[in-house]
Chain A
Amino acid sequence: MDITFKDVSFIYQANSPFAHIALKDVSFHIPSGSFVAIIGHTGSGKSTLIQHLNGLITPTKGEVRIGDYRIHSGKKPDSLKELRSRVGVVFQYPEHQLFDETVEKDIAFGPKNFGVPAVEISKRINEILPAVGLDENLLDRSPFDLSGGQMRRVAIAGVLAVKPEILVLDEPTAGLDPKGQREMMDMFYNLHKDQGLTTVLVTHSMEDAVKYADQVIIMNKGSKYMEGPPEEVFVQRELLNQVQLDIPEIIQFLHAFETRFGSHIPFKRQTIERLAQEISQVVKGADLRE
C-alpha cells in the first residue's frame, strides 16, 4: 500500500494553554514496497508522524492516505480495525505492552483480535520465533520473567504475527546490545525483502539508514527538512549538522580519505567490502603512477 501525507499538521492538546504543534505541513509519498528511514533530533515529531499511519491519531489539518484508506482531520476511516491489521506498528520500547500470562498468549493476542484462526496463529508463531531469535521453550514462560532483550523480541513477534503489509518500526533496536541490534535489523530487512513489505523505520542510527533505506526523510522541529535517497541526503554535511545530525561513518571516512589522499571516491551506498576494493584500486593506481 502506498503512503501519502498531504500538508499534515498535528497539534497536541489543541485549544488549551498546553497546545503544542508537533507536525507542520508535512507532505511526502512512500511507494508500496519501499524501505523508508525517518530521522530527526529528539522531539522532532517522528513518533507523532508514525501514529498517523494506523489511525491512532488523526491530523489536525491535512490528509493521510494509506492505500485506499483516507484519514482526514477529525474523521477516522470506518474500517479502522482492518487498517490496523494491515499496518503493524512496533512502538518505542514495545516491551511495555506485554501483559498476558505466557509468551505464547501474548504473541497470539494481536492476531486473535484481528480474527486469525487458532491453527493459523500457532503456525505463524512457529515461523516467527526463530526469525526473531527466541527459543521455543520460552513460549510457556511469563513474559515478565524474561530479559529486556527477550521481552523486546516477544513484543515484536506479537506485531509480526499479524502479518501486516506495512511495518512501522519506532527505534526498534534502542537499548539492545550491538550484536542483537544487527541481528534484529537484518531480520527486519529480510522480512521486508521476502514478504514485499513497505517498511517505515524511525531511527537515530545513520548507519542503519544508509544500509537499509531506499528513501530517507529528515525531520526537524515538526517539519520535513530533507528527503531523498540516502546517497543524496547524507552527503550534505552542513545541512545535516545544522539540525544536530551527523553524517554516517562511511561518508565521514570518504571525506577523511579525500583530504588525506586527495582523491575522491563517490558514495554510492557501497558495502564496506566493496569500498575496500575501490580504495585498494585507487591506492594501487596511485602507486603505479609514481
Chain B
Amino acid sequence: MNNAIIIGQYVPGNSLVHRLDPRMKITIIFLFVIFVFFANNVLSYSILTSFAIITTAITKIPFRFILKGLTPVWFLIIFTFLLHLIVTKEGIILFDILGFKVYSGALIQGFAISLRFFLLILITSLLTLTTTPIEITDAIEDILHPLKKIKFPVHELALMMSISLRFIPTLLQETDKISKAQASRGVDFRTGPIRDRIKAVVPLLVPLFVSAFKRAEELAMAMEARGYQGGEGRTKLRELKIRKLDIYVFLVFLLVIAGMFYTRNY
C-alpha cells in the first residue's frame, strides 16, 4: 500500500488530544488556521510553532511518522520557499548568484510563508490522525445543526462525508490489489516512456471504478435493508459532550493566542 500518504488516516491512541471532544478540536483548529495569518514576527511565530509541536508531542504519534507522511506536502513547502526567493525584492541584497540577486526580505518572507504553510498542514493533519472519521462527521453534523432551519441537508452531508472517509482506506487497498494483479500480467507502472505509463493506468482505473460503483450499490442496498431513512428521528449511540477537560484545553489555547497577539507588537 502507498504508506507515504497519511492524510485521512486515524492512528488509535488514548492521549489528551485523542480524548478531546471532536467539536472542540475542530473549533481550535479552525481558529488556529485563522490566527496563523496574524503572526508577524519571530516571537509570535515561535509561540504558534511551539503550540503545534507540543500538541503533536502530546498525541504520542511518532514525529518521524508524521513528517514522512507529509512528503507530498514538503514539495509544495519547498516550492513556496523558492518562489519567494525569486519573486520578492525587499531588504538588502544578501548574495548574487550568476546575476540573480537574493534579497534578505525574500529569505525572511520565504521562510515565514513556508513555516505558516507547514503549521497549517501539521495541525490539520493532527485532526484526522487523532479523531475517528465517525467522530469527525458527528462533530460536523452537530456544528452545522443550526443550518437545518434553512433546509440545509446537514445529515445527508455528514453521511456523505463519513462514507467517503470510510472508503478511502478501502479504495487504497483495492488500488494496491489491482495494481499488483496487473503488474503480474506484465504492466509496468514505474519505468518506460511517459506515454506508456499513462496507458498503464487504464487497466488500473477501469476495475477500480467498476468495484467502486458495485460497492456503492451494495452499500445503498444494505442501508435500505436495515431501514435507513435519513436523520429523521434517529438517535445516537455516542452522544457528544463538552466536559471540563475540553474547557480547560480551550482556555489554554486562548492563552496561547493572546500571547501571540501580545508579542505581535515587539
Are the C-beta atoms of A16 and B3 separated by less than 8 Å?
yes
Q: Which of A12, A13, A97 contacts B181 (CB 8 A)?
A: A97
The CA-CA distance from A249 to B161 in the complex, in Å, is 49
Interface size on A, residues (CB 8 A): 30
Q: Are A110 and B186 CB-contacts (below 8 A) given A96-B177, A96-B211?
A: yes
Q: Mark A44-66 against chain B: 1 for CB-CB distance below 8 A, else 0.
A: 00000001001010000000000
Binds A, one of B19-27, B45-53, B202-210: B202-210
- Interface residue? A109 (CB, 8 A): yes
Query: A-facing mask of B223-241, CB < 8 A → 1, else 0?
Result: 0000000000000000000
Min CB distance B173 to A, Å, is 11
| Separation of A18 and B1 alpha carbons in the complex (Å) | 12
- Distance in angstroms from B203 CB to nearest chain A CB is 5
Known contacts A13-B1, A17-B11, A99-B202; is A84 also within 8 Å of B184 by CB? yes
Given contacts A96-B207, A99-B203, contact A54 B3 (CB under 8 A): no
A12 to B64, CA, bound (A): 17
- Binary CB contact string for chain B from 34 to 76 against chain A (1 if under 8 A, 0 otherwise): 0000000000000000000000000001101100100000000
Least distance between A19 CB and chain B CB atoms (Å): 10
The reply to whether A97 and B62 form a contact with Cβ atoms under 8 Å apart is no
Contacts A13-B3, A17-B65; A109 near B207 (Cβ below 8 A): no
A110 to B184 CA separation, bound complex (whole angstroms):
8
Q: State whether the Cβ of B254 lies closer than 8 Å to any Cβ in chain A.
A: no
Contact: A158 with B185, CB < 8 Å? yes
Contact A97 B178 (CB under 8 A): yes
Per-residue 0/1 for B173-208: is the Cβ within 8 Å of any A Cβ (1 yes, 0 no)? Answer: 010011011111111100000000000001100110
- Chain B positions within 8 Å of A85 at CB level: 186
**Does A89 lie within 8 Å of B202, measured CB to CB?**
no
**Beta-carbon contacts of B139-178 to A below 8 Å, as 1s and 0s?**
0000000000000000000000000000000000010011
Quick check: is A28 within 8 A (CB to CB) of the other chain?
no
Q: Does A113 contact B (CB under 8 A)?
A: yes
Is A172 in the interface zone, CB < 8 Å from B? no
Asked if A81 is at the interface (CB within 8 A of a chain B CB), the reply is yes
A91 lies within 8 A of chain B by Cβ: yes
Choice from A16, A109, A113 contacting B65 with Cβ under 8 Å: A16
A195-245 interface with B by 8 A CB criterion: none
Residues B207 and A84 in contact, CB atoms below 8 Å apart:
no
Contact A84 B3 (CB under 8 A): no
> A56 with B183: in contact, given A17-B65, A97-B178 (CB under 8 Å)?
yes
The reply to whether A159 and B185 form a contact with Cβ atoms under 8 Å apart is: yes
A162 located at the interface, meaning its Cβ lies under 8 Å from any Cβ of chain B in the complex: yes
**Residues of chain B contacted by A257 (CB below 8 angstroms):** none
Ordered by A's residue number, 27 sampled pairs between the chains whose C-beta atoms are within 8 Å are A13-B1, A16-B68, A17-B11, A17-B61, A17-B62, A18-B11, A51-B180, A81-B186, A81-B188, A84-B184, A84-B186, A89-B184, A91-B177, A96-B174, A96-B177, A96-B211, A97-B178, A98-B207, A99-B202, A99-B203, A99-B206, A99-B210, A109-B203, A112-B186, A113-B187, A158-B185, A159-B185
> Which B residues contact A (CB, under 8 angstroms)?
1, 3, 11, 61-62, 64-65, 68, 174, 177-178, 180-188, 202-203, 206-207, 210-211
Residue ranges of A at the interface with B (Cβ–Cβ < 8 Å): 12-13, 15-18, 51, 54, 56, 81, 84-85, 88-89, 91, 94, 96-100, 109-110, 112-114, 144, 158-159, 162
